[in-house]
Chains A and B, each alone.
Chain A
């Protein structure tokens, strides 16, 4: 059995009650001043959580299909608004970012290309930006 919280009494400083730091979840989302792979970590976490949410919403949205033609076509009309298209671009950014950075994490996390992980990040993120620009143009023009 594990006890996840740090003890509040200190052995090195008898009589003192150290202030526990608790769980600082904000550190998952604050990459400022940190190195590139920390940015990668935050990117993957934020995009990953976003994509899980999207997966659930997507499945719910698809339930409209069960309602037949009328319900679906009314719903699909909504998706052509500029606001919705912008959301689509954000979704695409999340997918590309998570996907390509995830590839880096899979490689580095298995002990491959560890020495080159920084360069790998820059290369993959360059590809991601290019793909995102192409995708964005397609979304807004198609």
Chain B
């Protein structure tokens, strides 16, 4: 136990992958950690994500920074969460001339960002994945994987709890306590017992994802988070064993992720103001079927099992083209940007990079609190998610 760190208490707001990873990192470094989540763990953006453990290849042409983050984290997560991911790889498939024209760029991107890859002809790809379109011209294998977002959060939190963290689901932040320009805690509302009470901490981490702006406003600061929803449709049956991506510029419905007995097609993208309840636009659903069946025609023939939508917490300004917003993350120390002490916001990023986001954030926190405590999450194997319910 780091006695230096244990003098400080940190309150994490948000129980998605970011909050869970931050809580794990904090607890591992010895901070007194409390996490509040207004719903169930992973009931927001994380839970409803695409379940894709990115290799980074999706971003290797246009957003190399994200791509490198992804491949590094991909390799780390394989180590610290053994036995909880489908590590079947992914195929980027080309089904038309435009895709083929993109292939050299794509391979160059993989080379530059250090993503391992292997090229297949269309025929070879179809031998690997029999449901692939007959039009498949070529495919590139990359180390994509499939995880389960909720269980990933629970593995982080189970480990955090073992290291002394307190995790409080169904606890909504109603306001932040300020002393001068310093955030000292939060007024929280226990949705189970319908009572409000105060939680004080030396530092508050805002990991509320698409709701991060709402939390930040409570401290009088602004964070440029744009809730950017995407629609996903999960089809009955496992139409592929590997993740199937379209080898082209990122666009709607160009990934099919096999998970358990379903194949999830995603995703689309637009922006909203309020991410609490998002109507599912029917045209987006149809677009998923249509784009999905370009890669796997069987998609059009099976029944949908679940259709869902959720907002990503992308960093950027409204009005910007959503796909142009970098998928990387940012940790804002509001002492630097807004002269508000004791308050850090972490936003953007992806579940794949949650651990790295936590590392960066907690490095910032350790610096702020002047605590010497190096990050250990790279090599710490997590407990089973089942322990979340038992510790």
Contacts and interface: CB of A to CB of B under 8 A. Distances in A.
Chain A–chain B contact at Cβ < 8 A: yes
Interface of A: 11-16
Contact of A11 (B170, B192, B193, B390): B390
B170 A13 contact: yes
B169 interface: yes
A10 B193 CA distance: 14
Contacts of A12: 169, 388-389
B290 to A, nearest CB: 38
A16 B192 contact: yes
16 contacts: A11-B389, A11-B390, A11-B391, A12-B169, A12-B388, A12-B389, A13-B169, A13-B170, A13-B192, A14-B166, A14-B167, A14-B168, A15-B168, A15-B190, A16-B192, A16-B193
Nearest to B157: A12
Contacts of A16: 192-193
Decide if the interface of chain A is mainly helix, strand, loop or mixed: loop
A103 to B, nearest CB: 35
Nearest to A10: B389
**7 A-B pairs with the lowest CB-CB distances in the bound complex, closest first:** A12-B389, A16-B192, A11-B390, A11-B389, A11-B391, A14-B166, A13-B169
Interface string B344-388: 000000000000000000000000000000000000000000001
A53 B172 CA distance: 56
A33 B226 CA distance: 46
A12 B42 CA distance: 13
A15 B195 CA distance: 12
Nearest to B154: A12
Contacts of A11: 389-391
A18 to B, nearest CB: 10
A9 to B, nearest CB: 12
Nearest to B169: A13
Contacts of B389: 11-12
Nearest to A12: B389
